[in-house]
Amino acid sequence: MTTEIRSIDNGWRRWIAENLLLDAPPPALHGALVGHGFDPADAAREIETALASPYFEGAVRLRNRLRKREWILSVYGTLNRMRAGSGVVERRERLSRDEFFEQYYFQNRPVIITGAFDFWPARTQWSFDYFRERCGECEVEVQFGRESDANYEINQPKLKRMMRFADYVDLVERSGPTNDFYMTANNTSHNRAALAALWSDVPAIREYLDAESPETGFFWMGPPGTKTPFHHDLTNNFMAQVVGRKQIKLVPLSDTPHMANMLHCYSEVDGGAIDYERFPSMRNAHLMECTLEPGELLFLPIGWWHYVEGLDASVTMTFTNFLQRNDFSRDYVTYHEL
């Protein structure tokens, strides 16, 4: 009986090139190929061909440029951690416009601002009964089935369901901790119109936001246990916590090389239970945590990785319409790549 020798196709050639670019020793690659049933001579020839290819030399030059950029990011991150108090998210009472933009927005630093939206009617009026009374008959869009989909955030367009807002409010009110259903910013294109009566309760925070902008915020509502996996945004963001509390984990933009970025802006790292054995580079990431209380406004700088978990049934408004430039997403082109 003869054993069929496998042929090395382009998929395996890509595997060889990628691992060589990641500094895997050629003997180790050869052993792996042989272990997968490839002829030893063919495996050696393919590795040698890859190493001698001018295309591979070009890829090596590009890899080295990227490594230099990673080094620059690491220097920036190290310098930032040398700053006193860098391990905590500062809380500032009614931060002035100039201080906010000069010390946090332009410096890409998070901050929690207290007292910034105490004037909102939502701060005193929003409750389950109020929602049912004002918008109970409205049809809203909600994400369902998140618990059964490991990639619920990436696959969220497939998880949409329409229902009466009163029924959703009832569900949130009586639910225990779960991530199975959640009304998020991704549902806002429909819900902003459906829940228009609530938007007058959250007028623009003019100290920092553009009241004339057509972008008037995003509505989030869910039970305790809702999760938003580690990702980074393409804009600067405000999180205004109106009802309930949220636990947030943050990692600076400069530590992106440690975040196992597997697609677009998403990470493979489970923020709820970080597996340092599987992702040892996470030990080098500067992890910060904070609990956002009702009435607090968190500034999430662009590019910062964040994981969010609801500690209570919660309602949050988020905003991107800052008085300063926030259109950085127009230069972002890797939506379907790393």
Give pLDDT, residue 87.
Answer: 87
pLDDT digits (tens, 9 = 90+) for 288-328: 999 999 999 999 999 999 999 999 999 999 999 999 999 99
Give pLDDT, residue 336.
Answer: 84
pLDDT digits (tens, 9 = 90+) for 5-17: 789 999 999 999 9
Which domains are assigned to the chain?
92-331 (2.60.120.650)
DSSP 169-185: HHHHHH--S-SSEEB-G
pLDDT digits (tens, 9 = 90+) for 71-87: 999 999 999 899 888 88
Q: pTM surpassing 0.75? A: yes
Judged against a pLDDT cut of 70, whether residue 104 lies above it is answered with yes
Question: Token pair of 195, please?
Answer: 């829940």
Task: Taking residues 199-222, report their average pLDDT.
Answer: 97
Our separate counts of H helices and E strands in the chain read: 10, 15
Give pLDDT, residue 301.
Answer: 98
Does residue 201 contact residue 168 with C-beta atoms inside 8 Å? Answer: no
The 3-class SS string of 4-58 reads CCECCCHHHHHHHHHHHHCCCCHHHHHHHHHHCCECHHHHHHHHHHHHHCHHHHH
CA distance 252 to 288: 9
Give pLDDT, residue 6.
Answer: 85
Give Cα 115 distance to the centre of its chain.
26
Give pLDDT, residue 4.
Answer: 67
Judged against a pLDDT cut of 50, whether residue 1 lies above it is answered with no
Task: Taking residues 211-232, report their average pLDDT.
Answer: 97
